[in-house]
Amino acid sequence: MVGRGDPVASYVAVTALSHAGLVREHNEDSLVIGPWTLCGTVTENPQTLVFRRGTPLCVAVADGLGGQPAGEVASALVVRNLSILGPSLDGEDTVRRALEACNEAVYAAADGDPALLTMGTTVAGVVVLADSLLTFNVGDSRVYETGRDGLRQVSVDDSPALRPGQRTTSIVTQTLGGSLEFQQVTPHLTGMPLAVGHRCLICTDGLTDTVTDEQLDRLLLGAEDDGRAAFELWRAAIEAGAPDNITLIVLSVGE
């Protein structure tokens, strides 16, 4: 991590916020930023961590499945596994195997425990490498990147096609865990070049179900810094009623 006394260097700044929303009693979301995890907890204000570029850095959110038992257990299990595996994630094959291992771990933890049976979670995130960025997801949590044409969704929603006039759906077609019988997963992976100025938004559907892509674009790009952007995004979800847990991460590459 970059300290205040260190010389200027290329860095990755990661700003995160997690909140239960206005309806749910508990927060079943979790997140991972390098070796740090936040599981089922509420942050009152955005928190920022800064890292040197070089060693693989895994940053992700996980959304425990609502309406099924122990969503917070499943999401916490996944981000803790990713925090351990993070430094070894140096390419698409290693990320794919890590997500497959996370899926197996969720099923193994639920095996034989009625309180955990069918628990599951989505996951979405990025692995920051020296000169490239790998995005990944299973489920409907999302990864966006900013560019000249505004905000662009990079992740692929695992959900049915929307009907005309329908903006969101609560149906998820692929998750880590979540079924009585073991189901393999096919993670969505995308690689792209990384440069100073690159910026990403990683979030659970508690944000995107209530805030449109147009609003996300305006609030993220119009904020004076990542902390303000994270706060304004969270506030937009709260003002829209926040029926679900809200977890979001803004990641920027600077120099």
CA atoms of 118 and 180, how far apart (whole Å)? 5
pLDDT given at position 112: 82
Alpha-carbon distance 21 to 96, whole Å? 31
**Would you say 160 and 171 are in contact if contact means Cβ atoms under 8 Å apart?**
yes
**Can you give the pLDDT of all 255 residues of the chain as single tens digits?**
444 434 345 899 999 999 999 999 899 999 999 999 999 898 879 999 999 998 999 999 999 998 788 999 999 999 999 999 999 999 999 999 999 999 999 999 999 899 999 999 999 999 999 999 999 999 999 999 998 889 999 999 999 877 776 667 778 999 999 999 999 999 999 999 999 999 999 999 999 999 999 999 999 999 989 999 999 999 999 999 999 999 999 999 998
Query: CA–CA separation, 88 vs 67, rounded Å?
Result: 34
Coil, helix or strand at residue 72: helix
Torsion of CA 134, 140, 146, 151, to 10 degrees: 150
Q: Which two tokens stand for residue 200?
A: 């990403």
Q: Residues 156, 219: contact at Cβ < 8 Å? A: no
CA torsion sign for 50, 46, 201, 149 is: negative
For residue 226, give every residue at least 6 positions away whose Cβ sits within 8 Å of its Cβ, in sequence order, or none. Answer: 13, 15, 46, 48, 250, 252
Report the C-alpha gap between 226 and 250 in whole angstroms.
Answer: 6
* Domain ranges across the chain: 11-254
Q: Which residues pair with 202 in a beta bridge?
A: 143, 249
- What are the angstrom distances between the C-alpha of 40 and each of 84, 111, 184? 19, 22, 26
| pTM for the predicted model, two decimal places | 0.94
Q: What is the DSSP letter of 165?
A: T
Residue 70 sits at the vertex; the CA angle it makes with 183 and 113, to the nearest 5 degrees, is 70
Query: What is the per-residue pLDDT for 59?
Result: 98
Residue 21 in tokens = 């929303």
Q: Where are the beta strands (DSSP E) in 118-195?
A: 120-128, 132-138, 142-147, 150-153, 176-177, 188-193
**What is the model's pLDDT at position 166?**
67
Q: Does domain 11-254 have CATH number 3.40.50.10490?
A: no
